[in-house]
Structure 1
Amino acid sequence: MMAKFKAEGNLENANRNISAYNAFINLMDTAVEVLQNKKYSVSQYADFIESGITGYESGSVPPAIEQVNVGNVQRSMIHKVKAVFLLGANEGKFPGISLDEGLLSDNDRGILQSCNIELAPDTLTHTFETKFLTYKTLCLPSEKLFISCPSMDMRGGTLRSAYIFTVLKKLFTSLTVEGMVTGVKKPFDEYIGTPESTFQELIRLMASSKDTPVQPGWVAVKRWFEGNKQWSDRIRLLYKAFHIHVPSEPMNEQLAGELFGQPLTGSVSAFEAYTNCPFAYFLQYGIKARERKIAQITPLGIGSVSHTVLEMFFHRIKENNLDYNDISEEYMNRCVLEEMKRAASSFWGKNILDSKRNEYLLNRYGNTLGLTVKTLVRHIIGGEFRPINQEVIFGGKSSLKPVSETSEHNRAIISGKIDRLDVFKEGDTSYIRIIDYKTGSKALSMEDFYYGLQLQLPVYMKAIMENQDFFKRLFHTNEIVPAGILYYNIDDPIVKTNYTATSAEIERLVAKQLMLKGLVLDREPVIKAMDKNFTDQSDIIKVKKN
């Protein structure tokens, strides 16, 4: 029979017969073990066989056109489907977050892969693969695509939806996002689970239906929480929270004056923060909310440590009265290493170097700061401007007065700290150059300056000019002239070149990536004071001759 079904191509019936045959053989083996050599009547033996056959079940895939496949986005191989239900599309979950570089940087991986060493994908490849996977998943269905995500976790914390919601709404403007509050409601008993999950559902219900009567079932749930010793305090706090009235009126002038001070005093960064987001300004500079400090290396900490290392390096040069032309590369590397360890221990604590990972990260960033110091010294040697001071403070307790801005009824006092102040003297005139160090990519944008998003360097120069009497006495000069406001991006850039490039050619390409960027005075003597070798183009400042 089985051979006949196979010959006819009826594999389904053939498999059923094979399964039935195997089940019958197993039943006979069981009969031998159970019945042994005892004698039974025909009816008793028939009952035994019937009982065994009745309990037999054969599993097979239902021969239906419609079916549901459940799988993981990363591993499922699904094709030609009518509808896809994408669950859990939250930020960081779909698409997944980018991986950290880990012990090996992307540059390290590139070098090892060029030596035919097989490694896991780098962060760039992982990003591309994630984007492709997202595109592939969204394009799977031929008719319908449903995407959903939870808005809260089991503890009531907020969960953000994935960026694909924003992308799809831009592509298809008629799309709307439906929530549980506005969508179809589930039966009451489907909301009841563990005490924690039920409590979170109760919070959502109370938040969405303050003015509507609560279902009788939820009244019973409330009574249960009220009568339970472990939950009674939490339910009372919940009731209290929903009866707090939060005024929607803006903060009045008197309260703002008490909170922020009168006259208003702050740094340039603070006023830039207000322009970007008034609420963020309120949190940071009003109620002074701070994240809990964790002893781990962060970009913010790296920025602070970098400024300290550069400040102390130039302080050493000035204190020891050294000539920049006589400083060796070995001396620069030693200074950076010593100051890096000192600054890191001061900022993160002495135990920060106990971790091999932290030690590696700091050594790696120390190499970047070593390149930074060598580049800055090259800039100084290549021109006539010389650093006068580091971390120049104006406002507050400094002898330099702050920048003051007055409106009809209010007055703002702006203080700040200038990373580096350079001067070039020509006769009775002193030209001032301000340099600000940035650990990220930064360029001066006149548009951002116009809208108040990038005030730092212009305000710094204004502070110098408002204190020019002080600087005239300091430089023994009759005139102070602004010469430039410039950014230096602290970086160890990767440049594209071919395998035949020499070390000198690579260094020139790196130098072009590390030029000072910003605004300079349009006077050729001033530009040549920044770059002695300037003809048509400069390798120190990003300018060229028209």
Structure 2
Amino acid sequence: MLDFSSLPMGATLLAPAHLHPLIRQKLLQTTHGLLGLRLYTLNGYLSAQSLEDAPSEASILFAYRERIKQLSSSLHIYQEAALTSVFLKECMQCLDDLKIWQIPLSVLNEQEEAHAERKTILTALYPIETQGDLIVKAIREIAHKDAHMVYIYDAFFTPQQQQLVNLLVRQGATLLQDEEIPHERKFYHAVNKRQEIEGCAQYILRHEMKAEDVAITLADTSYIPILEQIFNRYHIPYTNLVASAASSIIVKRAHMLLNYYLQPTQEHLLACLDCGIFHEETLSSLLQYLQIYQKDFFQPFDHLQTLSTTSHILNETDVAKLKEIEERAEIARQHIAEQLRPLMHPASYEEMLLTVLKLLKNSLGNDMQQSAVLQDVMNVINEVYPYIKEKDDITFLLQLLADITVHSTIHQLQGVSVTSLKQGSCTRKHHFLLGATQNQYPAFMAKRGIFDEHYYETLPYPSMEHRYQLHLKQLRKLLNRSQHLYISYPLGTYEGKSLEAALEIEQMFDERAKPYPLQEMYEKADIALTITSQTAHALFVRNQQIKGSISSIERYVKCPFSYFLRYGLGIREPMKLGFADSYMGTLSHYLLETLTKQQGKAYTSVCETTLTALIDKEIDALQEVFSDMRTRLQILRIRIESSMIQTLRRLASFEEHSHFQPWQQEREFQYEIPVTSDVTLALHGFIDRLDVYDDILCILDYKSSAKTLSETKVFAAMQLQLLTYSIVMAKLEQKEIMGAYYLSLKNENIPHPAGKLSRRKPVTYTPIEKADLQDAIIKTHRIHGWTMYPNVSLLDDEGTHVSGVRCNKDQLIKTSKLYDLHSIERWFTSIYQQLAKRMLDGDIVIEPSEDACLYCDFHAICRFHGMPFERKAMVETDDSLYRKGEDEDA
């Protein structure tokens, strides 16, 4: 960078804003420092020459809007668009161009209707003072002043800025120019932008460049977060001088409040509550409550406190949680409603806006940056308040508030300077230009929108070709100041779309680009997690027992880390808010449990009146809790009744051909397996249903959808439930086990073709009979499981209701596989002991099985994104798995 130490006392230095920190740093190293020197941008210098303050963009746009309203009735093409902020901003930009380049309105084209309307609009808006008027006044002031004490850093200039620079030079100003020096040029490419930045970082380190001697210009500002990540990893100091503007939470809060004022819906209320405006201790409970219930926010929340009915679907814990949420929500509601009431029923727009600003101020912490944004919001509201006369004006204000952003500040200057192509770079020994693709370089901005290049062609305004050539000249000036220039571009995007170097860049080199020299090294990520055995004992063992349900053990098999979080650390999944879909499955389960208790084997022939009464009682209880869901619950009432009637009808056929009687429902059990000399695995659970015939038991487990029992999954410990039930009941009841089966409560869709067509000669058509359809229904809804007792005809004397059971050619009911429970018990004991020992050893590896992550509430914690792990058999089985049948068995 130039040496500014020779600038005289009282000098004025003009330079781009992003270079001011670097210039100040340079000046502070000189004898006089900043003493007697004024540092401005070009636009800042212009403002200083004018005695008037520039009007804000917001006030100009509101004034434009007022003027357009008076014209709207005479507009046809732009009647709707003319009142939008986008259209008005384009008008303001065009008018500034007309004023600065002294183009009279009389030359505007009006041959076509669209051109005539645009001229009408611009003519109406022209008298409203804008930034362009003040620039013109300032230029007139400068034209009569001596500028010998003005020094201009020769940076990147727009056509308008170049015009001002030329004027200042004519008035005696000095243009500080870096000499164009002969330099080394290199041209590289990389696979993608990440590898391009990686190559740049390695190049700096490999050639031992001083960070203070390096400047990086980014043609694509999306490189910034990746550059920061890679340079931090390589410990290369840098200063990001790219002017970035991020959205502000204060602006978002202002939007939420004004939207709620315009449309006081629950959606907008939730948005206000969820963006940090209020800091109530019980705010989270209020948000949960409002996600469940549609309530008038300004009326008390108390309907759960007077519940008069009990539900078998909602357990007492869930109801107690809902009541607690309501109590805490009411506390927050009272405080927040008091603050929001002036917003909902203001005496004037002034009171409403003051309420918004008060709430925004109260939401601030100690963040000085956000305080500055709040001041910007207050300034905009103060400037445009005289124009706010109706709610539509508030909507327009929202569009303008969206333009308020948080600008990044530089806290420390160090190392490599990083700038964007539109800013230009400072002069340093080594200069890297990254991302020089056709899409990003030379980044010339043509006129677009309503007043595009086609429109400007009709005006005495610098042509696009002239502006383009000036743009290229400015870029060449910046690129030719360093001793070493390195230009690179990526060959493609992350998605695989190919990219090419900019033509203007390729013309600078005689040779094609070379691959960036890049040294790559990959290390396999180790995701194995363990805890010490002492920690494992402390987390998992209570009173010399590892306690849990079979489903919790299956959870460990599917993902040990998930088990560790839930049952080791005790992290509970969040309560499912609102009416869960699982309630319908729970209701079906409860209905069958109740009917089999009351009616025994005759439960399938229960009258519809009794069934309806049971359903109504439960739906009424749900309706009292979820009072906002009356319509949905009435629909569900009809659906569950229809579905249950169909289920009972098809189960009637099963019961008719079974000699077993319903015996017990929700049978609780305890079962212990020794693991070590001082630790046992204590299993606890409930069995949905036990049927009995003499001293033989049949185990049925209700499911909401069809499910099968797979040998592969059983011995990989992914399906332990049914067979563990069998082992436990055989021991506790000292009875034979017929088998253990899944009984699906879902009524599957059955194809119902009109008939079958045979194309073999002779062609025949056989219509489908009603009996064929009934057979298809029975086949589709068979119970699935493992059979362990030879005389399977006791369970299904027809051979059609149990999967794997059939009537053979001798009219005997046989099963294709007959399992031996004693062998299964031996292997299961080994499986449970292996799993328990893994827990005690502290194995909590993140190795989820297929589908384990789909419904896992802890997925955000582990952030596993790899392929699922295949589960293999934990024991080696043999032919003793199968029980020998009778002589007739194959």
TM-score, normalised via structure 1 length = 0.50
Q: Which structure has the bigger radius of gyration?
A: 2
